[in-house]
Structure 1
């Protein structure tokens, strides 16, 4: 069963059940009230009759005549029941002659209830009295409820009609409700079908005025589609970049391997040259693959671990390691130590990328400055290298982009370092900028927001 049909069915059934319960409660409450009212009225009439019997002065007056005097009020039967349970004097309405055959019972106390005789309801009241002979007896009054029964029957018909009539708009409203609920779901199904058929990612249109759960579901779906699209684009870009960049080292390796296969045994000097070239290209391929894999990751997959870091301490540790690895002169100036909340390892990696660039494109000492500017902590890496032309400066963060004068095969770069640094800077909420003068060097700046609690 489809969700729309299920919503229609459940809504209608639950509404009808609710109507039946409410109308049933109304009917039972009203019938109980009206029957109790009739029972109270019959009790009052019986008490009035008993009072009249007890107050008659003339003992010669037949009690049957007294009962007949009260009969115009009673739509039923008035009867004296003796202590042995036998019937005494009585009076009956001509329209209720069937009551003559009803059983007689003597009650020691006052008794009142609703009874049913031959399928008809009656109010029954029994009041103890003392006859003129000093005997204890019951005055029992039985009164028909035909009018009350007719009222209750009419009420039942009205409530049933109301239930049936109220079910009609429920049929239409439940259909509208099911359409409202299932419309976003149907849109998702249709969109997913179109995506599968066309291979193009699409999003569903959302009503701007709504902020309910259905809107949130549609918004979540659109975010998921956007993420899938980004992942797909990253995958395509990764494949394209990898095939483009790996083509050259693979060609070099293949050429030297073929050369070794043909003449490697006869020319030892060729063997050494080929092995060195193959080893060098293999290392380049390994580095390229690692950088490509890092760039292919989503921002929410960086596993950022933020903690408080002293920029001066981080810079000193990083410079110490870099000096040992590259035997390069680096000068560090700490104008003001700053504490920031950042992922330490990723900040170090960005710092290494910037120092490696300065190392590749400048022979002069590298200068590192740690300082504060307003509410920002800054790490600056300065070199006196060839610099970057102003028109090329905005492109250096693009993947595989190389400035002709600097990004050469001699430096061993792939054009991925700054792109990777930019991605990581974004992940740790840092700003990475470059300032450069062609022929006058480059300044790379990492800007981090200062944590005011430290």
Structure 2
């Protein structure tokens, strides 16, 4: 069953249920009000009868001439003695003798539903001159007119209910169509994307009332935007990776062909070819390792996370690179709390990437600072500052793109793959942190990484 049909039936059934309850309430209130009014009239008639002089003389009850003038159409009057015997009965309809005749000292009123009509009656004790109970007075009335009214009322209610059911189905189908229109458009666009592979968005009408359908459309458009962006980045990544892999493979293949043709008797040529092949193979290995690192960062988001001393990781990493590159690397640790929750190996890798860039593109000492964010002591700022060639301001936004190199510095001759800063940013984001770069050409570069000591101290970043 289609969702549109389900919504239409749900609306119609809900309206019918409300109308059904309303009809029952209307019917009940009409009967209640009418019977209450009739019972009031019967009580008034009873007061008139008990005010008659003959009412206190049971021996005169059998003479009904004094009661007959008080009898109204569709009415019955009874006088019953203490032994439940009917002493006198006046019935203008001939159909009310089925009322129970039982002596009872209580005063009450009742309503009876019979096959012919609705009957109301009252009963009250008849008191003598000395307050003794002489019998009971019973007055009943057959409500023929009410029956006619109720028949008309039932017919009207059934007709209006049938009309309301028909209109509710038609209206439900219309409103369901209006409500489901964005969903149908969403389905059509998704099917179009699946068939053609072209990303499309729903038209989002500006409105002040941001209801659930508006939010659905907005969320879908946002999701499509992210998917399109990721798809574009993935295509660019594949193209860049293919290009990066093609260069060393082409060099290796060229020198291999050269060796095959001319290298047999030329020792200098063999040595040149072997060195080139080794160099390109090393580049190829490094590039492959970087690609695997990117893939592992995507797949292993929170594996290997522990509590560790951030200051110790930074100190040992800086000391190791200082010995390896024979460069002056200074550490200024201002942290009062060094304990951090995360992956120490990934944090170490991030620092190695930043220090490697700083050492590669500068010849002066490199400074590492560790300090708390003055606005939030739970946030640590790790800064790597060099005094190298610097970067143009227009180039900074693209530094974190995969395979991107600044022309004047990030050339292939430096041995870089263009993935280092992309990996560094992914590591920072996986720890719910951020990374930013400020630089001045000719003066140096400062890279700032902000990391929470505990994940709860910082809102998650947009990964």
TM-score interval, smaller chain: 0.7 to 0.9
Alignment of 1:220-299 (within 5 A): 220-255=219-254, 278=277, 280-292=279-291
Distance in 1 (CA, whole Å) between partners of 2:133 and 2:356 is 126
Distance in 1 (CA, whole Å) between partners of 2:317 and 2:412 is 27
Unaligned runs of 5+ in 2: 376-380, 458-463
The Cα of 1:189 is off from its aligned counterpart by: 0.6
Deviations 1:276-298 (A, max 9, x none): 65554444223213434555799
- CA change 1:218–1:108 in 2 (3 A) is same
Unaligned runs of 5+ in 1: none
Aligned to 1:107: 103
Deviations 1:379-436 (A, max 9, x none): 233255xx36759855655543445554454432223324444555566223123333
Check conservation: 1:400, 1:414, Cα contact below 8 A.
yes
The Cα of 1:334 is off from its aligned counterpart by: 2.7
Alignment of 1:43-442 (within 5 A): 43-46=43-46, 48-52=48-52, 55=55, 63-71=63-71, 73=72, 75-81=74-80, 87-93=86-92, 96-99=93-96, 102=98, 105-110=101-106, 112-116=109-113, 119-129=116-126, 137-164=135-162, 166-167=164-165, 170-171=168-169, 173-207=171-205, 208-255=207-254, 278=277, 280-292=279-291, 303=302, 315-324=314-323, 326-332=324-330, 334=332, 345=344, 348-362=348-362, 364-370=363-369, 375=374, 377=381, 379-384=383-388, 387=389, 390=392, 393-394=395-396, 398-403=401-406, 406-422=409-425, 424=427, 428-437=433-442, 442=444
Distance in 1 (CA, whole Å) between partners of 2:195 and 2:43 is 83
Distance in 1 (CA, whole Å) between partners of 2:105 and 2:285 is 108
Paired residues, number: 440
Distance in 2 (CA, whole Å) between partners of 1:400 and 1:9 is 58
- CA change 1:92–1:398 in 2 (3 A) is closer
Deviations 1:121-151 (A, max 9, x none): 222334454899x996554333221223233
Distance in 1 (CA, whole Å) between partners of 2:190 and 2:325 is 57
Deviations 1:23-69 (A, max 9, x none): 21221133133224423432442354245265467967963112213
Distance in 1 (CA, whole Å) between partners of 2:75 and 2:150 is 20
Structure 2 residue matching 1:42: 3-state secondary structure: helix
The Cα of 1:266 is off from its aligned counterpart by: 9.1
Query: Comparing 273-282 with 185-194, which one deviates more in the overlay?
Result: 273-282
Q: CA RMSD in A?
A: 4.5
Distance in 2 (CA, whole Å) between partners of 1:150 and 1:430 is 86
Aligned to 2:12: 12
Distance in 2 (CA, whole Å) between partners of 1:445 and 1:131 is 113
Distance in 2 (CA, whole Å) between partners of 1:60 and 1:107 is 19
Structure 1 residue matching 2:199: 3-state secondary structure: coil
Distance in 2 (CA, whole Å) between partners of 1:391 and 1:48 is 109
Structure 2 residue matching 1:151: 3-state secondary structure: helix
- CA change 1:25–1:64 in 2 (3 A) is same
Q: TM-score, normalised by structure 2?
A: 0.75
Distance in 1 (CA, whole Å) between partners of 2:438 and 2:84 is 113
- CA change 1:42–1:232 in 2 (3 A) is same
Aligned to 2:23: 23
Is 1:34 the equivalent of 2:39?
no
Check conservation: 2:428, 2:451, Cα contact below 8 A.
no
Deviations 1:368-387 (A, max 9, x none): 14277995946233255xx3
The Cα of 1:348 is off from its aligned counterpart by: 3.9
Q: TM-score, normalised by structure 1?
A: 0.77
- CA change 1:104–1:311 in 2 (3 A) is closer
Check conservation: 1:338, 1:371, Cα contact below 8 A.
no
Aligned to 1:446: 448
- CA change 1:59–1:13 in 2 (3 A) is closer
